[in-house]
Amino acid sequence: MSQNNKNRYHRIRRYIKRRNLLLNTLDTISSKIKSFDQLFIITSAIFIGVSAGYLSAGFRYLIIIFQNLFWQSDNFVQGVLDAPFYVKILVPAIGGLIVATFVNKYAKEAKGHGVPEVMDAVATKSGIMRMRVVLVKAVASALSIGTGAAVGREGPIVQIGSAFGSSLGQLFQVSARRMNTFIGCGAAAGIAATFNAPIAGAIFASEVILGDFSAASIGPIIISSVFGTIVSRSIFGNYPAFVPPEYVLQSPIEILFYTILGISAGLIGWLYVKSLYYSEDFFNKLKISIPLKAFIGGSILGIVALFVPEVLGVGYEAMDNVLSGNLTLTVVLVLLFSKIFATSLSLGFGASGGVFAPSLFMGAMLGGALGHILNILFPGLVAPAGAYALVGMAALVSATTHAPITAILIIFEMTSEYSVILPLMVSSIIAMVITTKMLDGNIYTLKLKRRGVDIHGGADRNILNQLTVKKLKHQMVEIVHEDEILTDLLEKMSISDQNIFYALDDEEKLSGIITFGMVKRFINRFEDLPPETKVKDLYRQHYPSINDDTPIQEIMRLLLDHDMLSIPVVNDSGQLTGQVHRDDILREYQEELLRTHSAGNIASSMRFVHSHYHEKSEVIPGFLMARINVPSAFINHTLKKLDIRNKYHIDILLIRRPSGDDWVDKVPTPNMVIKKSDQLVLFGAKDAVSNVCDLL
């Protein structure tokens, strides 16, 4: 070995020794801290709340910096109004171009709303979020809002706070349940700091992000929300996000008008959600580069700014004006539909920002418009238009998020006026009921469903959805013809280990099923069977069947409802192609559950693997999980061709692929080609994993 190689070898050994010492020290400190369980949780909640509060404040200042840089004004609308026409078009276009390029390179999950990505992490990734999301999301969203994208700052603040909470949980290697609580703490503190509404922040995290109101999670979340609010008040003062109008319920008949407002909010909420995802689909179908899409979309947004500059950015100035009753009926209607178009366009072309504030904006305009109309029709009998704008904000948030408690509490905390509760409850609940009937989810969960993630089903149902009939189907089945006589059937059953036989008709189509138990019951019922008794005389004609595209959870429901151990698979012509066993579904489900949960934890806890080294961890007695560099024999081959499970008796749980300065975890598929730069996360028996590690 040359002297240079010896020196390099010793440097690597010293680095590994120092690294292992540091990691062991951190693990020891982490274990000591976590041994004081309740103190650890409370301390962590306070720390997350304070940090999220400062991150929220920093994000708001970053928006102002970009706003002053591009529009040369502290007042957003005035800056846009004073700008030359070409600046109004170019600034959103350039902003979109920069944001799309930046996000696509450094953290793709920073694109879009922010909240769905947090919900996805909770539902399918054991709460694992990358720390870099904090920085990338803050810069991308601040730049989007500062250059005019018609998006909100609440979604990014939720994602930033949640990513910080997740990063703290990863540092201390907490359980998946506690990790979700830390994420909820970050989300709650972010919302509370934004609206100066600690109760609403805590409820938002529990109602929308976690869907969990248990005492174990709600306690730390409330603590974080309180400390996030304290930080915000210390920086910005104890002021609400909006200055609400004085509210008085003029007459009991107004409840009828607030019912109409709730129905209207439901319909506008439906239009908003449909427009948003139509825009995303439109831009996704364009066969041009991502930065070019953003530049074109930003240019169109700039053209909108020539006519209605109020819809650009968050839009708080316009909301304050409608709450104060300073806008006419025509103006609020124009702003309402312009905001729907501008927000859908912004998120469609790739801007980074939330959908919560646009919902507030649209609700304020809708309520203001209805208030104007009612004051014309019933002068003196109804509250001012600003009061209806206030209730409309809660109604539209409820319609889009399906979180009426959060919507009601945000407005209630801003007004501190108990008399507004009745209209808020009526309008918000009715708006939510309308959209739940018209949409298959809320504005956040619909984005996840489009990716194949069922947020309400939780991680277990999403694991089931990863299984397919093609993977589970057995093509070797016992077949009889429906015209065969009973004695032939009994002879076949006597030499078969299968309990179920499938009867086919003359066209080779499945016509019935018959089990040994059915035959036994038939024989016990009739002592003397006529010799011409046929299979079709006793088989079961009414039975469930499936095809290759039937969801696994639907198959499980059918098996349980009909008390069956297996179910036939047929094609479009009704011909039998195989069967699926219930035991196979349960076995594959258990394997996928272990693979998914373990892989997510191992990816976050294992450190970087250096060249020619591997790292192993015993997850259960006798079974190892390892992260290794790719053996030369695997390079440039698909997983299907390698047939690793059968040849090496191990499973590849994740493929870690370099992306810039970080790694991206990819779920293996049969046709995925393994590259030289990849790392593999393996799972299997100790000897099998060790044998693969020896290939390096």
The predicted structure's pLDDT at residue 73? 82
- 246 in a domain, yes or no? no
Q: What is the mean pLDDT of residues 659-671?
A: 69
Q: Which amino acid is located at 233 in the chain?
A: R
CA distance 151 to 347: 8
Percent of the chain with pLDDT over 70: 81
Q: Residue 574, exposed/middle/buried by CB under 10 A (0-12, 13-18, 19+)?
A: middle
Mean pLDDT is highest, among 42-46, 122-126, 428-432, 476-480, for 428-432
**Where is the domain boundary, 455, 485, 513?**
455
Report phi then psi at 354, rounded to 5.
Answer: -95, 170
**Number of H helices and number of E strands within the chain?**
28, 10
Residues 496 and 621 in one domain: no
CA distance 258 to 686: 66
Q: What is the pLDDT of residues 276-328, one digit of tens each?
A: 999 988 988 888 888 898 999 999 999 998 999 888 988 888 898 898 888 89
Residues 133 and 176 in one domain: yes
Q: Which of 255, 263, 243, 252 is nearest to 417 (CA)?
A: 243
- Given a cut of 80, is residue 55 above it in pLDDT? yes
* Contact indicator for 377, 364 with CB cutoff of 8 Å: no
Task: Output the domain CATH number for residue 332.
Answer: 1.10.3080.10
**Where is the domain boundary, 423, 455, 487?**
455
What is the count of structural domains for the chain? 4
Between residues 181 and 12, which one has the greater pLDDT? 181
The 3 state secondary structure assigned to 227-275 is HHHHHHHHHHCCCCCCCCCCCCCCCCCHHHHHHHHHHHHHHHHHHHHHH
Residues 526 and 556 in one domain: yes
β-pairing, 500-504 vs 479-481, is parallel
Question: The pTM is what?
Answer: 0.68
Q: Which helix (H) or strand (E) holds 103?
A: helix 85-106
pLDDT-based confidence at 388, cuts 50/70/90? very high
The predicted structure's pLDDT at residue 533? 74
Query: Residues 77-101, buried b or exposed e (16+ Cβ, 10 A)?
Result: bebbeebeeebbbbbbbbbbbbbbb
- 653 in a domain, yes or no? yes
- 588 in a domain, yes or no? no
- Given a cut of 70, is residue 425 above it in pLDDT? yes
- Given a cut of 70, is residue 20 above it in pLDDT? no
- Given a cut of 90, is residue 430 above it in pLDDT? yes
CA distance 209 to 471: 33
The predicted structure's pLDDT at residue 649? 79
Q: Which of 86-90, 358-362, 655-659 has the lowest mean pLDDT?
A: 655-659
Residues 448 and 391 in one domain: yes
- 4 in a domain, yes or no? no
CA distance 409 to 316: 19
The predicted structure's pLDDT at residue 138? 85
In angstroms, the Cα distances linking 336 to 308, 319, 359, 436, 580 are 11, 11, 10, 22, 52
Residues 554 and 630 in one domain: no
What lies within 8 Å, CB to CB, of 154 at 6+ separation is 190, 191, 194, 195, 354, 356, 357
- 37 in a domain, yes or no? yes
In the predicted model, what is the mean pLDDT of the chain? Answer: 80
The predicted structure's pLDDT at residue 228? 92
Q: What is the mean pLDDT of residues 225-236?
A: 90
Residues 276 and 362 in one domain: yes
- Name the token pair of 584: 């196979």
The predicted structure's pLDDT at residue 368? 93
Q: What is the mean pLDDT of residues 425-432?
A: 93
502 has which bridge partners?
A: 479, 513
- 321 in a domain, yes or no? yes
Residues 331 and 480 in one domain: no
Report phi then psi at 624, rounded to 5.
Answer: -115, 150
Q: Which of 24-38, 200-214, 396-410, 638-652 has the lowest mean pLDDT?
A: 24-38
Q: Which of 253-257, 522-526, 679-683 has the lowest mean pLDDT?
A: 522-526
**Where is the domain boundary, 455, 485, 510?**
455
Percent of the chain with pLDDT over 90: 19
Q: Which of 2-6, 82-86, 99-103 has the lowest mean pLDDT?
A: 2-6
Between residues 609 and 514, which one has the greater pLDDT? 514
- Given a cut of 70, is residue 648 above it in pLDDT? yes
pLDDT-based confidence at 269, cuts 50/70/90? very high
Residues 271 and 212 in one domain: no
- 12 in a domain, yes or no? no
β-pairing, 566-570 vs 650-659, is unpaired
Other C-beta atoms closer than 10 Å to the C-beta of 30 total: 15
- 217 in a domain, yes or no? yes
Residues 441 and 550 in one domain: no
- Given a cut of 50, is residue 612 above it in pLDDT? no
Residues 218 and 284 in one domain: no
- Given a cut of 70, is residue 1 above it in pLDDT? no
Structural domain including 511 reads 469-582
* Contact indicator for 273, 443 with CB cutoff of 8 Å: yes
Q: What is the mean pLDDT of residues 481-497?
A: 76
Residues 42 and 131 in one domain: yes
Residues 523 and 450 in one domain: no
Task: Output the domain CATH number for residue 624.
Answer: 3.30.70.1450
